[in-house]
Amino acid sequence: MVFSSTAFLFAFLPFVLIVVYPLRRAWQNAALLALSILFYVWGAGADVRFIFTVALVSWCLALVQRRLPKPWSSVVLAFSVLLVILPLLTVKYVPPMTALFDPAASAEVILPLGISFFTFHAISYLVDVARGQLPPERRIDQYFLYLFMFPHQIAGPIVRYGEIRTEIKARLRPSTDDVIYGLSRFSWGLAKKAVIADACGTVASAVWADAGTGQPMNFTTAWIGAIAFTTQIYFDFSGYSDMAIGLARVFGFHFPENFASPYRSASATEFWRRWHMTLSRWFRDYVYIPLGGNRHGVVRSYIALIITFALTSLWHGATVPYLIWGGLWSAALMVERVTGLRKTERLYPIRRITAALFIVFTWVAFRSPTMNEALGVWRGMVQPDFGWPTPSVMLTLTPLVIVCLVIGVLGFAIPGRSSQRFFDHLVLAGQENVLRRPRALVLGAVSLALGVIFSMWTSFSPFLYFQF
């Protein structure tokens, strides 16, 4: 069950609001936990056993490790992380590895819904407890609510327990502004997903279908496909994050932001400070810094950077295109460090254009199942053949799709100096970010109407990051 499905919009979400809001605050946690588990079982069925394993192991071993002296607590932490990550390793990486040695074996991977994000949440909790940044949670129901809370359990954002621990325990009733802002932002995210991302996805799918058959690709087709996927993945994933953050606000939780207009970046360093920010911070705090970060010289920092991006690539998938994608970004980050480009303000317009081209270019590898597709699209992007798109792609270029592609291109033209998100710019006023209620209500109503209409009109399209 996804947020853009009719089952969620017309059955599950209204039911949750009707059941949870009238309850006393002391009972709201229990209701949210029960409904969140129902949400997961509805979407994942028997795969819920993987998540219960992760939840139980991380909760129990966090209590144990804080009672032990330092050497033993470190051993328990390592053992805990291994147990928590084992289900993910088993279902995500064993099939591809088996297929390498046994050609008859299938390398197809069907992941238990949301297992990657559950794993990240549990590891962050275990490490934060081991570092003394958090006390171990003694109430299993409150810890389970943190892991199972339905807004973020499928595809993030990655929320650390310390960020919402107080809100879980206090359960203050959300203000009217919180509810209006949350519902409006949820609707805004739904429109981004159902209208823009899904429209661009039809074009990207047609282009990569041509690439999969080995059909030669001209400049026009390749660039339309690359821009279509660049637009799709941003509006799809940021739309989901908007929906998750908005739903959480409705129930009184403040999730961290996950995107900050990444396509207006002027460097690779800036891009990763704006794209999937909770994942970037997770790898920084739990991989890059423990490997030494930039505290032990240039060579050590480069090694830590390469390992971090290699793990980021492997998390997305154990395929060559994902490794190429991660390698390109780690190379760009190292070049910026060597040359000092990550800190300079010189040649800003040229750096914006270069960053935009690099972003579009690297998304090709991310989208491609194999290197054959990636190379096919890349060849088309660099050859001077400016013919018409292929017939299959032309069929997808409806007026709506063309408008959505233009919106995607305009995402690169947003002034880079602006610090406020576009949605917040529309509904908040002043330095205190006071909610403009009438504007938020109108924007939310229009976005909801568009999102619902397009969700029902088009065929089912799951969120891209559900596969991870």
Query: Could you tell me the residue ranges of all domains in the chain?
Result: 6-173, 178-267+342-467
Q: How far, in Å, are 89, 145, 267, 295, 302 from residue 299 at the CA level? A: 30, 42, 21, 11, 5
316 catalytic, yes or no? yes
Helix, strand, or coil (residue 79): helix
Query: Any residues with CB less than 8 A from the CB of 273 and at least 6 apart, and which?
Result: 260, 265, 280
pLDDT tens per residue across all 468 residues of the chain? 678 788 888 888 888 888 888 888 778 888 999 998 888 888 777 778 888 888 898 999 998 887 777 777 788 888 888 988 888 888 777 666 665 565 555 555 556 667 788 889 999 999 999 888 899 999 999 999 999 888 887 777 999 999 999 999 887 778 889 999 999 999 999 999 999 999 999 999 999 998 888 888 899 999 999 999 999 999 999 999 999 999 999 988 999 999 988 998 889 999 999 999 999 999 999 999 888 877 777 888 888 888 988 888 888 877 889 989 989 998 998 888 888 777 777 778 888 899 999 999 999 999 999 899 999 999 999 988 888 888 888 998 999 999 999 988 888 887 765 667 888 888 988 777 889 999 999 999 999 999 998 888 776 566 766 666
Number of CB atoms found within 10 A of residue 437's CB: 14
> What is the pLDDT at residue 418?
60
d(CA 231, CA 411): 8
Task: Report the pLDDT value the prediction gives residue 132, as an integer from 0 to 100.
Answer: 87
> Burial code of 170-192, b = ≥16 C-beta within 10 A, e = fewer?
ebeebeeebbbbbbbbbbbbbbb
DSSP 8-state class, residue 434: E
Helical spans, DSSP H, in 194-218: 198-212
* 3-class secondary structure, 9: helix
Of the residues 121, 276, 316, 425, which is catalytic? 316
Structure tokens at 43: 């979407």
Question: What pLDDT is recorded for position 226?
Answer: 95
CA distance 410 to 372: 30
pTM: 0.90
Which tokens sit at 308?
Answer: 């971090």
pLDDT for position 108? 55
Neighbours of 212 (CB within 10 A): 14
Q: What does the pLDDT read at residue 383?
A: 86
Predicted pLDDT of residue 196: 92
State residue 103's pLDDT score: 55
Q: What angle do CA 288, 291, 296 make, to 5 degrees?
A: 105
